[in-house]
Chain A
Amino acid sequence: MSGVCKWCRLGVKILSASLAIEVLMLLLLLASTSAVSNSRLEALFHLRLDEVGKLFNASLSGPLASQDLATLQDVLDALRNEEAISYLVLVNNRGQRVAASGWAESKELPQPMAKPVIGKRFDASLPITLAASHYGTLHYGVETALLAEAQQTLLARGALIAGLEVLLSAIALSLISLLLTRRLVRLSEAAETIAKGDLSIRVPVGDKDEVGKLAVSFNAMADALYARMRALALSEEKFSKAFSGSPDAMIITDSESHILDVNAAFERIFAMPRREALGAQVSVLCAADCAQALDKIIGSPDSISGSEIVLTRGDGKMLSCLISSDNIELAGSACRISILRDISARKEIEAALERSNHDLEQFAYVSSHDLREPLRMISSYVSLLERRYADKLDDDAREFIAYAKDGAERMNRLILDLLDYSRATRDDKPFAAFNLSSALQGALDNMQLLIGESQATITNDGALPQVAGNITQITRLFQNLIGNAIKYRSPDRPLVISIKAAPSDHQWTISVADNGIGIDQQYFERIFMIFQRLHGRGVYEGTGIGLAVCKRIVEHHKGRIWVKSEPGVGSTFLFTLPAIDGTP
């Protein structure tokens, strides 16, 4: 295995440690066995000496008590054995040597030894007694060569067995280590391969032991890593493509609002090379008066969506942008990604459209006002003609005159409504904060008579919120919606109108619900178009301008209006108004 020194290998470590422990234990065992065997040999030696002593005493006490010197000498000669008993000297209780074998007469007797020294002659003495009477002392020498030989043989055999055991253990452990480490090496090599980027490699599981389990876990980890890496690569690719291919400018900033990265669209939209942008403060994108607003968006801890801001390009030109910003984490660091959409062209179109609408409104107002003058003249002269010449005309003529008069009146009504529609948002007073309750109350006051006649019950659950807008237009809005509910009330039940307000995303949603006749779903869009009527003139009066005016007012306040209804049950008109400072 590459990168692992010979002595650092697991197998070598296991083998070395096991053999070292085994050798140590065997040495301890040998030492212990040797000590025990020595002790046992010594004990056996003394036991044997005791037994021999009894025999010596039995053999010698009688002849000694009988003072039978010849027998004593015979016994000593018979007892002496060069290999075991090297000499025997019998001394009577007068201290006289009465018999000796293997020991010179003139040679002084050695002192008896307390314990044997293996390999050396053991000098011992034995009192010769009979019937508890001491008759003399036998001095004798015991050779311990056999003990030494036995001890050496024991040690040699022990060492041989230990050596064989170490050798067999080394072989067995080597095989085990080889089998174990081979699989671990495979795992290691697979891990290295994965580290190099090849996530497709897997290791064979083999036996269902711990290493096999490790291999299964390794493969599971590799599978998971492969899936994660693939997902990450896909995500990175998508992000990279989205980042680089986005038509909107994108910037990534750090927690200090330094620009970390920008995309190609940024370079194009802001006329600023990437290399200049990187590392710069984000405030480089705006003039001093908007720097604080931009910093507030970029440095916000929250997600910001669709805020308009005017920024400065690299060439100094101003740029209207719609900015969205959110927090992201890159390489463990908190960052922020912002998308800047260039809405300069749209703003210009909106401005032009605004001007066009204003001109059209002006035209409609002027036209309506001017059209009424000739219509009034036609109506006056038709009325004069009817009044002066009615009796001179036949019935058909009078009927024609009545048609002309009715047509003039309807046209006047239409012109008035058109005038009303065009004037609905002409009040150019700037939006101001007011309470919706005031607008509602104004509307109810204006409609007091109508409400009384219809016996309608109008409820308002809770206090209505503060909003920013034109109170006159919102009063008109309530007035039109409540009037609409009264107009299309059900003849089968008392009219109940419920007005509520609920907060939603940066705005308020106000609902005006009734239990009137309801509207079929197919007309939900149509009812907000100008001069669109769902019923004949004979059934309900009106020109179909009311809800169109409502829509115009709501849209003037950057809101939206829609309806939910079920025929025969009732209708709920809902519209949104922006909250003050974007917080409902």
Chain B
Amino acid sequence: MRIFDKPGLAAFCLVACLLTAFQARAQTAPLDVGIFPHLSVRTLMERFQPLRDHMERRLQRQVTFVTAPDFQSFVERTQAKQYSFVITAPHFARLAQLKAGYRPLLQPKSPMRGVFLVSAASPIFKLSDLKGRKVATPDRLAVVTAMGEDALQMEGVKIPQDATLLALPSHNAAVLALRHGQAEAALISELQFLQMKAEERAELRPIATTKTLPMPLIFMAGPNMPGSEADAIGNAILDFAKTDEGKRFLDMTRYQDIEPTSEAEMKQLDPYLPALERALGEKP
């Protein structure tokens, strides 16, 4: 059976050539990597700079990490497929996977949970003490915020009746609010807490943690990214974890290692999607 006649074969070859050329061009074009704004922009970019530098060297293409002013914008841009590659929060990743066709590739090995922090000299020792208090949190769309709200409810502290959540753009903004007295407690990722300097950590005291997620973030290929390109990027990231620079990065971020993401782990994020989609539908 002849699958292609002569004109068909010619057309197939032309399309194949064009695709190959397109892929080749795409794999040398600048790569914009969207990273969710869980830290202030400068801290975020400086923290991920070793990874970006490694990717540029490895992929032989310009790599630019971009972010968004807030989680809402980031999620919207992600859903609008503006990013060809994203590093995003787990529940954002699940939403992007399911709604926008992003493909989860890799994740840090360390799990992630939220931690409630108060000043070292604070009279607050447990979550129930937060009644009538103000708690600084990252963006209201952050999974940590959602897990923290669950933790508070489980301790009988209803939001917004018993305590006020002060949503700030990032984790370090929440810590700063605690330090400057804008809030009596702060809720941030434990990993972010561990990444802080020892003297800064000494001024703070954890009083409670949230439930644990299997990963702090997920590396995802955009829906339009060819598989080979996604593989190349994924390999570059995995390779980064084996370098000295990468090890220092993983040590500093407490990510331990980077490994492929499994669908099973992705499914563990589903419970957070309804609330996320609800929040996205609300005006901030």
Contact = CB atoms under 8 A, between A and B. Distances in A.
Interface of A: 61-63, 65-68, 71, 93-94, 130-135
Interface in B21-58: 30, 37, 40-42, 45-46, 48-49, 52-53
A390 B37 CA distance: 201
Interface string B53-90: 10000000010111111000100010000000000000
Nearest to A132: B49
B49 A66 contact: no
B67 A65 contact: yes
B64 A133 contact: yes
Contact of A66 (B30, B46, B62, B69): B69
A71 B37 CA distance: 16
Given A62-B41, A131-B45, A131-B52, A67 B64 contact: no
Contacts of A132: 49, 53
A93 B41 contact: no
B68 A67 contact: yes
Contacts of A61: 41-42
Nearest to B74: A66
A93 B30 contact: yes
A133 B45 contact: yes
Which of A67, A94, A132, A134 has the largest count of B CB atoms less than 10 A from its CB?
A67
A66 B67 contact: yes
B51 to A, nearest CB: 11
Contact of A62 (B42, B64, B77): B42
Contacts of A65: 41, 45, 65-67
A260 to B, nearest CB: 118
A215 B62 CA distance: 93
A94 B49 CA distance: 20
B42 A131 contact: yes
B192 to A, nearest CB: 18
Which 8 pairs between the two chains have the least Cβ-Cβ distance?
A: A62-B41, A131-B45, A131-B49, A68-B69, A131-B46, A130-B45, A66-B67, A66-B69
Contacts of B49: 131-133
Contacts of B42: 61-62, 130-131
Interface string B142-154: 0000000000000
A133 B64 CA distance: 7
Given A61-B42, A131-B45, A131-B46, A67 B66 contact: yes
Given A61-B42, A131-B42, A133-B45, A66 B52 contact: no
Contacts of A93: 30, 62, 64
B142 to A, nearest CB: 16
Contacts of A133: 45, 49, 52, 64-65
Interface in B252-266: none
A149 to B, nearest CB: 38
19 contacts: A61-B41, A62-B41, A63-B41, A63-B69, A65-B41, A65-B67, A66-B37, A66-B66, A66-B67, A66-B68, A67-B66, A67-B68, A68-B73, A93-B30, A94-B30, A131-B65, A133-B52, A133-B64, A135-B66
A190 B30 CA distance: 100
Contacts of A134: 64
B64 A66 contact: no
A133 B49 CA distance: 8
Which of A66, A94, A130, A135 has the largest count of B CB atoms less than 10 A from its CB?
A66
A66 B170 CA distance: 13
A71 B69 contact: yes
Nearest to A130: B45
A135 B41 CA distance: 13
Given A131-B46, A131-B49, A133-B49, A66 B41 contact: yes
A94 B66 CA distance: 13
A63 B53 CA distance: 21
B90 to A, nearest CB: 21
A94 B64 CA distance: 11
Given A66-B37, A68-B73, A130-B42, 10 more contacts: A61-B42, A62-B42, A65-B41, A65-B66, A66-B73, A67-B67, A131-B45, A132-B49, A133-B65, A135-B64
A67 B32 CA distance: 11
A131 B65 CA distance: 10
Contacts of A67: 66-68, 77
B93 to A, nearest CB: 19
A62 B46 CA distance: 11
A62 B70 CA distance: 12
Contacts of A62: 40-42
Nearest to A94: B30
Nearest to A136: B64
Contacts of A94: 30
B102 to A, nearest CB: 18
A131 B48 CA distance: 9
B248 to A, nearest CB: 15
Contacts of B67: 65-67
Contacts of B37: 66
Nearest to B30: A93
Which of B49, B53, B66 has the largest count of A CB atoms less than 10 A from its CB?
B66
A61 B42 CA distance: 8
A132 B57 CA distance: 14
Contacts of B52: 131, 133
A93 B48 CA distance: 19
A278 B93 CA distance: 145
Which of A63, A93, A130 has the largest count of B CB atoms less than 10 A from its CB?
A130
Contacts of B30: 93-94
Contacts of A131: 42, 45-46, 48-49, 52, 65
B154 to A, nearest CB: 34
A131 B49 CA distance: 6
A133 B62 CA distance: 9
A135 B32 CA distance: 10
Contacts of B40: 62
Nearest to A67: B66
A66 B70 CA distance: 8
A65 B46 CA distance: 12
A132 B47 CA distance: 12
B44 to A, nearest CB: 8
Contacts of A68: 68-69, 73
A66 B67 CA distance: 4
A68 B70 CA distance: 9
A65 B47 CA distance: 14
